[in-house]
Chain A
Amino acid sequence: MKARIAAAPYLLWAALFIVVPMGLVGYYALTDMNGGFTLDNFVQGMRFAPVIGSSVWLAIIATALCLAIAYPLAYLISRKSANTQRTLVLLVMLPMWMNFLLRTYAWMTLLENNGVINRLLGMIGLGPYEMINTQGAVVLGMVYNYLPFMILPLYSVMTKIEPSLIEAATDLGCSPGETLRQVVLPLSLPGIATGITMVFVPSVSTFVISVMLGGGSFMLIGDLIEMQFLGNAYNPNLGAALSLVLMVILLVCMALTDMFHNPEEKEGLLL
């Protein structure tokens, strides 16, 4: 009973700022300018299928890169002494304390045609390379900005893998590679699932990164939605419909990663 009273402020908050806006998004998506019911917004939204497709594709690439970079790093960190672990995790989080826009601007000046990297390359007679306003730059921005969201959940699962389990695997005949495959990987699946969700969701819906590093030439679904509300193409109904589509994509993605979680194991964790 007390718990319910204590939860009241949040329930009120959730009702006001989550349920009501969701209702509004749904309402806008299903109505035209004059408030009449229509499915036209979704039909129109289909025109942007290639944008949605490339958004998902770039987000998948960024997520895969993050996983590939973060996994070995998180494992290394988790095998260090407690003090070293703290320091290394701090270093991982350090860039996140700096403003997101500032970090992305920094990449702009680095990648520009006469930016720092091209000038350095020029000094040894290479380049200039076209780096900014490419898909690669957008993916780089995603990986750079969202990497910590992959490292942290992986690290927090791996640090709970007892060193004695690794020793037990070795003792039973596992080479280091087999230990990784047979013990570390299965035990870190929940971290992988969380990390994928935490990187994929912001990557697929980002709009700042693609504007700043993609030069607006690669429109992502986030940019498209932004344009419907703040840009020239003002059309909140279409924007709302696209938001719903994005939400469905994310729900599907989360349902897929959730399959990693073994229901029995969850039960085990609760016990």
Chain B
Amino acid sequence: MENNTLISLRNITVAFDGEVVLDHLNLDIKDKEFVTLLGPSGCGKTTTLRIIGGFVEPSEGDVFFDGKKINDVPPYKRHVNTVFQRYALFPHLNVYENVEFGLKISRLPDAERKKRIKEMLAMVGLSGFELRRVNQLSGGQQQRVAIARALVNHPRLLLLDEPLGALDLKLRKEMQIELKRIQQQLGITFLYVTHDQEEALTMSDRVVVMKNGQIQQIGTPIDIYNEPVNAFVADFIGESNIVDGVMIRDYLVEFGGRQLPCLDGGFGTNARVDVVIRPEDWEICKPADGQFHGTVISSVFKGVHYELMVQAPGEEEEWMVHTIENHPVGSEIGLILTPDDIHIMHKMSPEEEAELLSALEADSILNDEDEDDEE
């Protein structure tokens, strides 16, 4: 265990009614780090958060805080504060009283209390809102009160449970940047839960990708995006083309009817693998010059880019291509990959593949619900 480790989860297992939610989970979080737990709904990320908060007791395993085991410490004695998913502001108190709540309980002297609350409200941009009732605030403002209410206690660790889920896109982006700024300014460890991969990549020092109560990958946003360890992570972190391939030998892979050089090795010879290609990594050229060529069968304007689906003649494979120049439906284009655009993954078993599909499906349903909420 490193010296600056703040939280350690060791072999945490949780089962509700016999259903395993977390499966022998191990995770270390360093002091002052911004760590995000990312995964589809039902992957156990919120449960992990609640274990650290003290609201869920693990069936097995230990939780260490600052090197001390805290399994039996009740939530109100932990140096941890939480920003809840639906804010959970006290409706009978105004903005000031909500932020004051924790300080009042800890019996902080009046003068110090006032000073801290004032600072905190200024930090979240709510100076002058002290006497407002919380149900007269917009979603974004309520969110800020919730953050201020948690941070004013100067916790060692702040837990955030999908805190931006109910906000609209623009507000969400603003709050992402603001949260990151607050975290760096105060030097508090943040553990953030989300199912939004972009949010995770934007804010985190490290991202923990979870599925079915297990950690798939831990790494910096750049690692996770560029070097996903399996097709699940690749597909969950942004859209991807995932196709069957065969590793002919180290640094040479065959897929889509071509043999292409790549940067991966150590899979053996003639091993079946998954090949992942990010849609933005394709280079578009004349049909004759490309490693692949095909017909554009659909083109969707996405704002920053166009999303093309390209079908190669005589093959089932369709490639998703992101490009800033439009190519009309029916036109022929060529596609080129450089070796570092080709990511090779160990093949998933059929069961794992089915799980991936259902997890992604569940997540898209959840996203739809979120959008409904915003209206």
Interface residues of A (CB under 8 A from B): 162, 164-165, 167-175, 178, 182-183, 186-187, 262, 264-265, 268, 271
Contact = CB atoms under 8 A, between A and B. Distances in A.
Contact of A162 (B75, B82, B88, B133): B88
At the interface, is chain B mostly helix, strand, loop or mixed? mixed
Interface in B87-104: 88-92, 101-102
A265 B92 contact: yes
A168 B163 CA distance: 14
A265 B90 CA distance: 12
A172 B88 contact: no
Interface residues of B, number: 27
B221 to A, nearest CB: 28
Q: Which of A164, A183, A264 has most chain B Cβ within 10 Å? A: A164
Among A168, A171, A174, A265, the most chain B Cβ lie within 10 Å of the Cβ of: A171
A174 B78 CA distance: 11
Contacts of B88: 162, 164-165, 167-168
B137 to A, nearest CB: 11
Interface of B: 53-55, 74-76, 80-82, 84-86, 88-92, 101-102, 105-106, 133, 135-136, 149-150, 153
B135 A268 contact: yes
B81 A172 contact: yes
A165 B135 CA distance: 14
Contacts of B102: 172-173
A183 B55 CA distance: 18
A160 to B, nearest CB: 10
Contacts of A169: 90, 101
Given A162-B88, A182-B105, A173 B153 contact: yes
Contacts of A186: 92
A167 B92 contact: no
Across the A-B interface, give the 8 residue pairs with the lowest CB-CB distance, nearest first. A172-B102, A164-B88, A168-B88, A173-B105, A170-B75, A186-B92, A171-B82, A170-B76
Contact of B105 (A165, A178, A262, A271): A178
Given A167-B55, A167-B75, A182-B105, A271 B135 contact: yes
B81 A268 contact: no
A268 B133 contact: yes
B130 to A, nearest CB: 15
Given A165-B88, A187-B91, A171 B133 contact: no
A91 B57 CA distance: 32
B86 A164 contact: yes
Contacts of B91: 187, 265, 268
B92 A171 contact: no
Contacts of A264: 133
Contacts of B150: 171-172
A178 B101 CA distance: 11
Nearest to B77: A173
B84 A183 contact: no
6 contacts: A165-B88, A168-B89, A169-B101, A173-B106, A186-B92, A187-B92
A268 B137 CA distance: 11
Given A173-B153, A175-B76, A264-B133, A167 B84 contact: yes
